[in-house]
Chains A and B, each alone.
Chain A
Amino acid sequence: MTPLLQLDAVTKRFGGLCAVSAARLEVQAGHTHGIIGPNGAGKTTLFNLITGIYTPDEGAIRFEGTNIAGFRPNQIAARGIGRTFQNIRLCRDLTVLDNVRMAYDVRLTSSTWSALLNLPSHRREEQRSIEGSFELLKAFGMDAMAGQLAGGLPYGLQRRLEIARALALKPRLLLLDEPAAGMNSAETLRLMEFLRWVREHFDVTLVLIEHHMKLVMGLCDHITVLDFGVTIADGTPAEIQGNRRVIDAYLGEEVEA
């Protein structure tokens, strides 16, 4: 079976720094895939490469068989890759509903002209977008706050809204960059349940960058470990936990006396 997402020897340099070096990653459809590694290992750079913020210097990024390296971010998003951010990037001065709508509108098919002229066909589509966005918020238990400004929501709800916004694209692949950042262990447990629900309910493949090992080990089917931009291990949670190189990367190598 061809993987949903496949990174083949992807390299990205910033000046002299090689942030990602010949990285390999294979994400199977339906799996939940974890990416772990020490700070500065190139995990977020990998997400930025997949979503088109950066273009790889070498290598191919295949999504559903198509090489999307060099595509513009909005084209990649429209193909079905959604993402959230380590530091929340909602449009703070837009309402909760509008934040979801801006992503939902990618599904609209009418042209700019019919939008400018406000043709009935376009208005019907717009109505669908509003209803669809509302439905999505309802599923997230956030429909009551649809009219509030996103920037005024408490932190936990902002994280939740960011996931809702990414799901409005109707993605096949959802990239989550440290979804548990800033959460205590009770909140992290709830997040784990929530992500399980998202996975089932929206039929989406998840890739998450995370430091919370409990979350990663409890949720993921497969884990890739990065260190200094290099893929150093790849396997099931059990395999990763016993991997010598991973332990070395996290704790430092033992010095032989």
Chain B
Amino acid sequence: MVGAFACLLLVSLVPLPFIVALLAVMVITAVLGALIERVAYRPLRQAPRVSAIITALGCGLVIQNTTLSLSPYARPMPRLFESRTFEFAGVTLNSLQLFIIGVSGVLMLGLDFVIRKTDWGIALRATASDRATVPLMGVPVNRVISLTFAVGGALAGAAGVLYSQAYPVVGAAMGALIGWKAFVAAVIGGIGSIRGAVLGGYILGVVEVTTVVVLPSTWRDLIAYSLLLVILIFKPNGLLGSAAQQKV
């Protein structure tokens, strides 16, 4: 939502090419992400896990309602992308859809590479694995966590821009349902697994679209969330998640 609004604001001030606008929005939301971590998460670092979830919901409400007070009505998003429709092997596609798939693919592969291979990715995984110990190995935990929130913010910003190109109406509440869907996708794939989240996202998408074809479209979310429940019953750690085994 912030990403979409930032994009709308930017392009209404200066006519930027799409890619430049996308990158600028990612920088803005990255800064916002790091800021949120500093203000809302860092003071709660030692608090129980539930506090982090509550602060996350709280931040969401603050940001949504701030936007709502500044812009009470939904606004149209200008098309920044010349879209052409063509047919390929019996499937109708337009270049915007291909572009979205392409950009998200590049971002996902990039993230996967960074987390797996780079020093920062190792520091991130080490911090996630044992936050108390890794500072003793010289890992600057505060900086690692700030950077993680910045990267998360940048990716969310990119998602907001892409989404608002596909569904060009921008409003304060637009992120809420997407946020829930993203959460469902992450749970389906296995919390903590990036590849799992990607897989979960595609599964959820395919299930939703198939539902609409076969059943009345109002059943879409019912089926999607039921899928979540079924997966939680049979695979509580998600499809690619690993169970944290506690040695007794």
Interface residues of A (CB under 8 A from B): 51-53, 72-74, 77-78, 82-83, 85, 89-94, 98-99, 101-103, 105-106, 108, 112, 115-116, 118, 126, 129, 165-166, 168-169
B138 — which chain A residues lie within 8 A by C-beta? 74, 77-78, 103, 105-106, 169
The docked-state distance in angstroms from the alpha carbon of A52 to that of B139 is 13
Query: Quick one: closest B residue to A107, CB to CB?
Result: B138
Listed in ascending order, the chain B residues whose CB lies under 8 Å from chain A are: 118-120, 122-123, 125-126, 129-130, 132-141, 143, 147, 242
**Which of chain A's residues have a CB closer than 8 A to the CB of B136?**
51-53, 73-74, 77, 82-83
Residues of B with C-beta under 8 A to A89: 130, 132-133
Which of B125, B147, B242 is A98 in contact with, Cβ under 8 Å? Answer: B125
Interchain CA distance A51-B136 in the complex, whole Å: 7
- What is the CA–CA distance of A112 and B114 in the complex, to the nearest angstrom? 13
24 A-B pairs (CB sep. < 8 Å): A73-B136, A74-B141, A82-B136, A89-B130, A91-B125, A91-B134, A92-B129, A93-B129, A93-B242, A94-B122, A94-B129, A101-B122, A102-B122, A102-B123, A102-B134, A103-B139, A105-B119, A105-B123, A106-B138, A112-B143, A112-B147, A115-B120, A166-B137, A169-B138
Do A91 and B118 touch across chains, with their CB atoms under 8 A apart? no
Question: Which of A72, A90, A99, A165 is in CB contact (< 8 Å) with B135?
Answer: A72
Residue of B nearest to A85 (CB): B133
A115 touches B125 (CB 8 A): no
- How many A-B pairs with Cβ below 8 Å? 83
**A108:B119 contact, CB within 8 angstroms:** yes
Given pairs A82-B136, A93-B125, A169-B138, 18 additional interface contacts (CB within 8 A): A53-B132, A74-B139, A77-B135, A77-B137, A89-B130, A89-B132, A98-B125, A98-B126, A102-B122, A105-B122, A105-B123, A105-B139, A108-B119, A112-B120, A115-B118, A126-B118, A166-B137, A169-B137
Cβ contact within 8 Å between B118 and A106: no
Give the CA-CA distance A181 to B205 in the complex, in Å: 52
Complex interface: chain A residues within 8 A of B139 (CB): 74, 102-103, 105-106
* Chain B: CB-nearest residue to A88: B133
Q: Which residue of B lies closest to A93 (CB)?
A: B129
Cβ B137 vs Cβ A94 within 8 A: no
* Bound form: Cα–Cα A168–B138 in Å: 10
